[in-house]
Each structure stands twice: as C-alpha cells, then as structure tokens.
Amino acid sequence: MRVLVTGHKGYIGVILVPMLLERGHEVIGYDSDLFRACDFDGHPVEIQETVKDIRDAEVEDFGGVEAVIHLAGLSNDPLGNLDPNLTKNINHLASIKVATCAKAAGVSRFIFSSSCSNYGAGGEDWLNEESAFNPVTPYGHSKVQVEKGLDKLAGPGFCVTSLRNATAYGVSCRIRFDLVLNNLVAWAVTTGKVLIKSDGTPWRPIVHIEDISRAFISVLEADPSTVQQEAFNVGRNGDNHQVRDLADMVKEMVPGCEIEYADGAGPDLRCYRVDCSKISKVLPSFQPKWDARKGVEELYNVFSKISLTPQQFEGETYQRIAHVKHLLAKGSIGSDLTWKGVQ
C-alpha cells in the first residue's frame, strides 16, 4: 500500500516508518522537520518526503496515496500550552485540512494519532472508548475536536480510524524526555535520583512506541468495515500505573538510586485509567510486545551506554518545548512556528 505518514520524523514516526517498510508498504513522509537538530543515537530512515507544514496542506500533496497515517502536530501539553490558539490551528484545524485534502485526492484510509489525554481528569474509574471526554489541556481538547471532525468526513470510500495512544515511552532516534517513564529513567541513570515531578498519585496508561506502531499497522491492514469510524485505546490494561509505582520500578532496575520529589511537586489534574481490551478483540493481529518493566530495562541499558547529562535531557535538544523556545529565540522560526531566517 502507498502510505503517507505525516510527522514521519517525530518520536513515533521514525519507529513506524521502518516497520511499515518491513511489511512491504511504500512510504512517503510529510513533516515540517522542526526537530531536525534533535537526533539521538541514530538518524531517521531516508524516504521520499515533503518538508512542509500541515497548515499548508494541498490536495496535490496526496496524489496517488492510498492511506494517510496522521501523526503530525504539537506533541504534548507544554507545547500545547505555549499558545492555545496555535494548538487549535495546528493540531485541530490543520488536521482536518489534511484529512479533507486527502479525501479530495482519493485517499481511502485515514488513521489519526489521537490520545488518551482525551479523558483528561478521568479519576480512578476504568475508561473505555465509550467513556466521556474530559480534556483539561489545549492539547487534549484539540484531539477531541479532530476526532469529532473526522467523524463528519468519514463515509463510503473514506475510512477513518482514531487511535487513542496511552503515554508513550521507549528509545527512538528522535527521543523525547518530556515523557514520564523516559524522564524517570534518565534522572535515575545520570543522578542516582528518580525525580518525580508530581505528587506521584496520578494514574497513567503507558505504551511502548513500537506497540503504538504495531497498532497503526494493524488498523492499516484491517478490513475497512472493521475499523470505519472506530476509536481504539492503544496500550495494555496491565500497564496502567500510578507515577509513584513507575518510580518504584525504576528504583528496582537502576542500581543505587533513590526516589525524590521535585520542589513544589503537587497533584496533576491529568489522571486516568484506560481499558485497552477493545483493540485486541477487534484486531487480533495487534499483539503488544512490551510492558513497563521491559521498557525500563531498555531505557536503562541505552542510557547507561552513552554520555547523557540532566542538562541535555532537560534542555533544548530533547525537550520539545525547550527546543521550540530555542528556535524562537534564535530567530529560526517565527511566532507561528514556521521556518524563517537562519536554520
């Protein structure tokens, strides 16, 4: 299948693309390449690509494409909070524009990378795909609005599916350290402290980026009638954890470290436990390979072999919000987050 992946050079995209190629798909990339200076222990696979902002999407960009996997967007709550209007324009309106252009070009399948952030302040109850949305951030709101907009575009010849990914973790050549498990392990390896930045009580479902990629492939290769206008929580029920329990797991794995709470650490409104059983029932080809303990081991092994400092993983290269602010200060991008001047 000829597949266009938006955000193919992002944290998940650089893992998904090689997996699609291994399955025999022809893959085209579409990315503004905002994080081109953020490689970590490797480089993205080179494929045919369009370097372009999704806000500038045109019907011609999707000619000859059979399926779109839409990953591109501002990737987390801190970026989303930088300018809520930008988050609306990029994550919401531009995503609908991409889907509209794809449909007009004759694309038959559109798979959207949504988020369990849709559930927001979900509390202690188990949440499935029928549970009410309760987003608490511009990022979460944007994902909800895209899902609603895609439902209106779906129809005969245009199969739309939304994957509500749990909080991602795992090693990637475009790694993010603003994700809870990646960050906890990085602090433990480099300082001997497992630094918790909340009070440790929030529930988080977590999922490895390879398993997220497997979910996209399962949807891509499924009969359209099975996944048309469906949403799937992506993860494992066994990997819903309170942050403090993840910290305990890291402490057990990384020798000689202790748990420490950041100054001013308090409760987090984002708290949700997610039931991921639907995707395994509907798409038996989706077989997750990772769990949290294996993930901690992977992260520990990789971080232990390289020279990594807190200044690096908390700094402008691997923290998305810090990198964007760096590009803004340098004049490489404008206030609308598009490239200009010195890059």
Using 50, 70 and 90 to split pLDDT, how confident is the model at 269? confident
What gap in Å lies between CA 133 and CA 249, rounded to an integer? 30
- Pairing state of beta strands 26-31 and 109-115? unpaired
Q: What is the pLDDT of residue 52?
A: 97
Q: Would the CA dihedral through 68, 72, 76, 81 be positive or negative?
A: negative
Considering the chain, what is the average pLDDT of its residues?
94
Q: What is the pLDDT of residue 75?
A: 83
Q: DSSP string covering 37-82, please?
A: T---SS-PPP--EEE--GGG--GGGGTT-SEEEE--S--SHHHHHH
DSSP 88: I
Q: What is the pLDDT of residues 93-123, one digit of tens each?
A: 999 999 999 999 999 999 999 999 999 877 7
Q: DSSP string covering 154-178, please?
A: -BTTBEEEEEEE-EEES--TT--SS
Using 50, 70 and 90 to split pLDDT, how confident is the model at 341? low
* Choice between 182 and 124, residue whose per-residue pLDDT is larger: 182
Q: All domains of the chain, ordered by start, with CATH?
A: 2-330 (3.40.50.720)
Residue % of the chain over a pLDDT of 90: 87
Lowest model confidence (mean pLDDT) among 15-24, 89-98, 196-205: 196-205
Write the CB contacts of 144 (distance below 8 Å, at least 6 apart in sequence): 118, 133, 135
CB-facing half-sphere around the CA of 298: CA atoms within 13 A: 16
Q: Can you read off the two tokens belonging to residue 80?
A: 């989303």
- In the numeric block, the tokens 């497997």 are attached to 214
Are residues 65 and 28 in contact, defined by beta-carbon separation less than 8 angstroms? yes
| Residue 342 pLDDT exceeds 70 | no
